[in-house]
Amino acid sequence: MNKEIASTLFESLASGVRLDVFRLLVKNAPTGLVAGEIATELTLPPTNLSFHLKAMTHAGLVNVTQEGRYQRYRANLTVMQSLIDYLTAECCTGHPELCLDAGEASACCDSD
């Protein structure tokens, strides 16, 4: 995890639509959902959803696998965990005493 990747992930999560998609996929982990199910659940035009799913896939926030003519999307929880670790490290850099209960932040040393 570095600044550029983190920035890309933040961009992915900055949109209300994409945050909704991600949360929905987390809720449906580890099975995931096919694109049509996501569109139905969030009442989004398929073309619009595709646009956002593409961005999220590119960012690594979700994974996609083909199932016949369906595309199944799953939240990438590993990447999310890396982002959390990065944030924790950034938040504590040189100031572990300032963070509330982030005592387990083992990655507090390698910033940037």
Partner DNA sequence: AGCATAATTATGCAAATTTCTAATGACAGG
Partner DNA sequence: CCTGTCATTAGAAATTTGCATAATTATGCT
Q: By the criterion CB under 8 A, which residues form the site for its own copies?
A: 3-4, 6-7, 10-11, 13-16, 19-20, 22-23, 26-27, 29-30, 77-78, 80-81, 83-84, 87-88, 90-91, 93-95, 98-102, 104, 111-112
Tell me which of its own copies, DNA, none is bound by residue 84, counting a contact when its beta carbon lies within the kind-specific cut-off of 5 to 8 angstroms. Answer: its own copies
Query: In angstroms, what CA-CA distances link 36 with 45, 66, 97, 109?
Result: 10, 13, 47, 43
Interatomic CA distance for residues 105 and 82, integer angstroms: 12
Which of DNA, its own copies, none does residue 64 bind to, with CB < 5 to 8 Å depending on kind?
DNA
Q: Which residue has the tokens 């939240």?
A: 75
